[in-house]
Amino acid sequence: DVKVTQSSRYLVKRTGEKVFLECVQDMDHENMFWYRQDPGLGLRLIYFSYDVKMKEKGDIPEGYSVSREKKERFSLILESASTNQTSMYLCASRRQGISNQPQHFGDGTRLSIL
Amino acid sequence: AQKVTQAQTEISVVEKEDVTLDCVYETRDTTYYLFWYKQPPSGELVFLIRRNSFDEQNEISGRYSWNFQKSTSSFNFTITASQVVDSAVYFCALSERRTTDSWGKFQFGAGTQVVVTP
pLDDT tens digits, one per residue of B10-31: 999 999 999 999 999 998 888 8
Instruction: Give the integer Cα–Cα distance in Å for B50 and A101.
Output: 9
pLDDT in tens, A11-68: 999 999 999 999 999 999 999 999 999 988 889 999 999 888 889 999 899 999 999 9
Cα–Cα distance, A108 to A23 (Å, whole number): 10
pLDDT band at residue B95 using 50, 70 and 90 as cut-offs: confident
The runs of H, that is alpha helices, within B51-109 are 97-103
Size of the A and B interface in Cβ pairs below 8 Å: 69
Question: What values do phi and psi take at B42, rounded to 5?
Answer: -65, -20
Tell if the CB–CB gap between B103 and A31 is shorter than 8 Å: yes
pLDDT computed for residue B81 by the predictor: 96
pLDDT tens digits, one per residue of B96-112: 876 655 567 888 999 99
What integer pLDDT is reported at residue A51 of this predicted model? 86
B16–chain A nearest CA distance, Å: 27
Type of residue numbered B63: R
Q: Which residue of A has its CA nearest to B33?
A: A100
Judging contacts by C-beta atoms under 8 Å, the chain B residues touching residue A48 are 103-105
